[in-house]
């Protein structure tokens, strides 16, 4: 097993996750099998109980692991399925050591950070690196490890020590360290400054790790004299110093690395030059060009505007996978994506009284959108606004997609408006409601928050075949999607809702858990209890996201006719017909043009970019 470690210096938020994902993709396209590990030095056992404002979205894996959003980047770039153990936290490591100590596994020895914690870290890495994640038998060839945080953080010191020991133990030729650092440009002098990176590398070396490559974040490519200076003071060969400068979207990052021959430096450091082939990034390059073309103001089709009605609109990382899924679908449909951020509470009557201008602006954005998306969330803040958004989309035949809570509020709205049950609600928001449309699921826990939800991949069976969602999934009998929720539609009210016209087209194997809803007399009105965004990939968009974008730009009939189910048009649609072959179904890097990751956004004059 070969190991590539990605660390970060100077400041956080440099794009280590995107860099690690891009390195993995580059090595994969060289013919190697790749797996990934993310180390998060916080004490939490996992990301499940952290607020999206605190740490961005919680990414959910097939096995139910609630992990850091960077693992989503790994899965999207490498098209792999990771496990919960691919995300290491300080909490997990200390818990495992303490459990061993309580069982007497250390035979009475004094348990210390060195060697017991550091040994546990190394053992965890070696064990998880051997788990196949690409659907093939046997372990991968290379494991890409990302160390979260910034070099010098107190909380990451045990991991630094463990990785220093690990690099020595596996030996040269099996370990390659890539340090991502910042080379700022001071506006006053316009000069690229190397001192922050020099100090970061000095600190890294002092902790026992020596970088093989430097990946320097800057607004533009490094000048040759700057590279020479970094090489001299950081003891890294000039050809092993690459620039990750601002690009139109993050899909360019693997291409940047390839063009600067980063793969050759990595392969040389791992003694794999004779094994690997030249990287084949033709399909990735084509998709990247399509994304760039859609943002060229000259000669492009009208953009597709999607209103994102949510609770955490102040931090777009809270909906990172949703944004990625929208982008994947918009590229397949050959349309520029504009996300209109709408704080759900701004649509409510209370806002109309307190801040009428904000209320008016929110409703104008909603009414100007080509489609409406209500993502998942927890808590009752903004729920009434989401219900109003679903009502608007239903009554005005605007394409609508509700995810998790978004599906639940669509059911509540239907019960209130169509069935006339004015007090219909979820027991999450009103425990005493006389018409509980959404109820607490019996297998969860109301008192313990961590790991108590219905989590991970679950199977949904289509009970109705002649519907949009079944067709988008290729008329499959069932689909496997990832879940993260505690509440769900009350099965006792299903017959009453269906008799009024709401169709529950997808259910679990028992028939008691409602998974997919549709309105048959609506152009596109779908709600799903699962989170389809977690399995969307570049070139393989999520079926229901593809349906939303296609419906919003008038291409749904074409998609339903030509791209059944999990067959998605990797090369997009042209003039209403499929173009090219058909394929089976991050912390972003800041862009120079004011957008992020190829997605543009507006919204009440506050939220300016998608990250």
Catalytic residue numbers?
404, 531, 533
Cis amide leading into 115 (omega within 30): yes
DSSP state for residue 114 in the 8-state scheme:
I
Q: Are 529 and 513 in contact (CB under 8 A)?
A: yes
DSSP secondary structure string for all residues of 126-190: HHHHTS--SSSSS--SEEEEEE-S-TT-GGGHHHHHHHHHHHHHH-TTSEEEEEEEE--EETTTT
A 10 A CB-CB count for 134 gives 14
Measured between its terminal Cα atoms, the distance across the chain in Å is: 34
b/e per residue 174-197 (b: at least 16 CB within 10 A):
bbbbbbbbbbbeeeeeeebebeeb
The 3-state DSSP class for residue 84 equals helix
Is 313 strand, coil or helix? coil
Tell me the residue length of the chain. Answer: 611
φ/ψ of residue 348, rounded to 5? -85, 160
Q: Counting Cβ atoms within 10 Å, is residue 261 exposed (0-12), middle (13-18) or buried (19+)? A: middle
The alpha carbons of the chain give a radius of gyration, in whole angstroms, of 25
Rounded distance, CA 37 to CA 175, Å? 14
Residues 6 or more apart from 423 whose CB is under 8 A from it? 430, 433, 434, 435
**Strand partners for 142:** 2, 34
Which residue bears the tokens 């961590």?
Answer: 450
Q: Please, is 592 exposed, middle or buried when counting C-beta atoms within 10 Å of its C-beta (0-12, 13-18, 19+)?
A: exposed
Please tell me the chain's helix, strand, coil percentages from 3-state DSSP, rounded to the nearest 5: 40, 20, 40
Cα separation of 162 and 158, whole Å? 6
Using an 8 Å Cβ cutoff, are 403 and 516 in contact?
Answer: no
Element containing residue 206 per DSSP (H, E): helix 195-206
Residue 316, classed as helix, strand or coil, is: helix
Buried b (16+ CB within 10 A) or exposed e, 136-153: eeeebbbbbbbbbbbbbe
CA dist 272 and 267 (Å) reads 5
Q: Is the dihedral of CA 389, 391, 392, 396 positive or negative?
A: positive
């Amino acid at each position: 097993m070969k190991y590539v470690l990605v660390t970060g210096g100077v400041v956080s938020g440099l794009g280590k996750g995107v860099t690690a994902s891009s390195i993995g993709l580059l090595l994969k396209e060289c013919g190697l099998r790749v797996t990934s590990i993310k180390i998060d030095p916080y004490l939490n056992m996992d990301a499940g109980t952290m607020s999206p404002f605190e740490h961005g979205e919680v990414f959910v894996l097939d096995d139910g692991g609630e992990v850091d959003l960077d693992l989503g980047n790994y899965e999207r770039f490498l098209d792999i399925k990771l496990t919960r153990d691919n995300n290491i936290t300080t909490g997990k490591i200390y818990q495992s050591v303490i459990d061993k100590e309580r069982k007497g596994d250390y035979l009475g020895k004094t348990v210390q950070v060195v060697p017991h914690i550091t040994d546990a870290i190394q053992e965890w890495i070696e064990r998880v690196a051997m788990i196949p994640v690409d659907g093939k038998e046997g372990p991968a060839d290379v494991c890409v490890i990302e160390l979260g945080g910034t070099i010098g953080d107190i909380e990451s010191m045990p991991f630094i020590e463990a990785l220093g020991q690990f690099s020595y133990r596996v030996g040269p030729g099996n370990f390659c360290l890539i340090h991502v650092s910042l080379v700022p440009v001071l506006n006053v002098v316009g000069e690229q400054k190397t001192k922050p990176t020099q100090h970061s590398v000095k600190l890294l070396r002092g902790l026992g790790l020596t970088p093989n490559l430097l990946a320097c974040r800057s607004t533009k490519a490094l000048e040759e004299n700057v590279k020479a200076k970094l090489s001299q003071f950081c003891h890294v060969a000039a050809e092993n110093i690459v620039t990750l400068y601002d690009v139109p979207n993050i899909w360019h990052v693997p291409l940047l690395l390839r063009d600067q021959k980063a793969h050759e430096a990595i392969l040389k450091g791992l003694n794999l030059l004779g094994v690997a082939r030249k990287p084949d990034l033709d399909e990735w390059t084509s998709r990247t060009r399509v994304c760039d073309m859609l943002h060229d103001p000259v000669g492009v089709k009208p953009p597709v505007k999607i209103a994102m009605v949510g609770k955490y609109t102040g931090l777009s990382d809270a909906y990172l996978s949703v944004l990625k899924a929208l982008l994947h679908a918009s590229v397949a449909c050959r349309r520029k994506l504009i996300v209109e951020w709408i704080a759900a509470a701004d649509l409510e009557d209370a806002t109309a009284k307190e801040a009428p201008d904000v209320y008016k602006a929110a409703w104008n954005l909603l009414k100007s959108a080509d489609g409406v998306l209500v993502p998942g969330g927890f808590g009752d803040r903004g729920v009434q606004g989401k219900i109003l958004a679903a009502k608007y989309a239903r009554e005005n035949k605007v394409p609508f997609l509700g995810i998790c809570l978004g599906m639940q509020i669509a059911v509540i709205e239907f019960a209130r408006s169509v069935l006339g049950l004015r007090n219909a609600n979820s027991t999450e928001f009103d425990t005493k409601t006389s018409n509980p449309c959404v109820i607490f699921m019996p297998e969860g826990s109301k008192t313990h928050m961590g790991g108590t939800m219905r989590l991970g991949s679950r199977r949904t069976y289509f009970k109705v075949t002649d519907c949009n969602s079944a067709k988008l999934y290729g008329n499959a009998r069932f689909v496997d999607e990832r879940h993260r929720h505690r509440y769900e539609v009350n099965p006792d009210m299903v017959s009453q809702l269906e008799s009024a016209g709401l169709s529950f087209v997808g259910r679990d194997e028992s028939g008691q858990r409602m998974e997919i809803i549709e309105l048959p007399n609506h152009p596109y009105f779908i709600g799903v209890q699962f989170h389809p965004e977690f399995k969307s990939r570049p070139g393989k968009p999520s079926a229901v996201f593809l349906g939303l974008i296609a419906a919003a730009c008038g291409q749904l009939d074409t998609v339903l006719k030509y791209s059944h189910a999990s067959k998605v048009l990797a090369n997009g649609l042209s003039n209403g017909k499929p173009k090219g072959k058909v394929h089976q179904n991050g912390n972003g890097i800041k862009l120079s043009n004011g957008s992020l990751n190829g997605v543009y956004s507006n919204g009440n004059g506050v939220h300016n970019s998608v990250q």
